[in-house]
Chains A and B, each alone.
Chain A
Amino acid sequence: MAATAERALGRATSRGGERTLGISALLALGVSAVLSLVVAPPDAVQGEVQRIMYVHVPAAWLAYLSFFVVFVASIAYLRTKKTRWDRVAAASAEIGVLFTALAIVLGMLWGKPVWGTWWTWDPRLTTTAVLLLIYVSYLAIRRITDNPSRRARWAAVVGIVGFIDVPIVHLSVVWWRSLHQGSTVFRLGGPEIEGTMLLALLVGVAAFTVTYAYLMTLRLRVGRLEERAAREALSPLIGAER
Chain B
Amino acid sequence: MAPNLGYVIAAYLVTAIALGGYTLRLFARARSAKRRARRIAGRRRGGV
Q: Is there an interface contact between A225 and B37, defined as CB atoms closer than 8 Å?
A: yes
Which B residues between 3 and 37 are near A, CB-CB below 8 angstroms?
A: 3-5, 7-8, 10-12, 14-15, 18-19, 22-23, 26-27, 29-30, 33-34, 36-37
Q: Which residue of A lies closest to B44 (CB)?
A: A236
A214 → B minimal CB distance (Å):
8
Which chain A residue has the least Cβ–Cβ distance from B30? A222
The stretch of A98-106, A141-149, A156-164, A174-182 in contact with B is A98-106
- Which interface class (under 10, 10 to 19, 20 to 34, 35 or more) fits A? 35 or more
What's the minimum C-beta distance from B16 to chain A, rounded to whole angstroms? Answer: 9
Number of A-B contacts (CB under 8 A): 90
Give the contacting residue for B26; candidates A48, A215, A235; CB below 8 A.
Answer: A215
Task: Write the A45-56 contact mask toward B (1 if CB under 8 angstroms, else 0).
Answer: 001110110011
Instruction: Please judge, given known A-B contacts A222-B29, A229-B33, A232-B40, whether A59 and B7 are in contact too, CB under 8 Å.
Output: no
- For B18, list chain A residues within 8 Å (CB): 98, 101-102
CB A127 to nearest CB in B, in angstroms, measures 21
- Nearest opposing residue in chain B for A46, CB measure: B4
Contact B5 A59 (CB under 8 A): no
Could you tell me the distance in whole angstroms from the C-beta of A65 to the nearest C-beta in chain B?
15
Taking residues whose C-beta sits less than 8 angstroms from the other chain, chain B's interface range is: 20 to 34
Task: State the main secondary structure of chain A at its contact with B.
Answer: helix
A196 to B11, CA, bound (A): 21
Distance from A107 Cβ to chain B, minimum over Cβ atoms (Å): 10
Q: Closest chain B residue to A52 by CB distance?
A: B11
* A31–B25 alpha-carbon span in the complex (Å): 25
Residues of B within 8 A of A98 (CB): 18-19, 22
Q: Does A191 contact B (CB under 8 A)?
A: no
Given contacts A47-B4, A48-B4, A232-B40, contact A221 B11 (CB under 8 A): no
When A47-B2, A219-B26, A221-B30 are in contact, do A229 and B7 touch as well, CB less than 8 Å? no
What is the interface of chain A, defined by CB distance below 8 A to chain B? 29, 33, 37, 42, 47-49, 51-52, 55-56, 59, 95, 98, 101-102, 105-106, 109-110, 112-113, 211, 214-215, 218-219, 221-222, 225-226, 228-229, 232-233, 235-236
Q: List 10 A-B contacts (CB under 8 A).
A: A33-B12, A48-B4, A49-B5, A105-B14, A109-B7, A109-B10, A113-B3, A222-B29, A229-B40, A232-B36
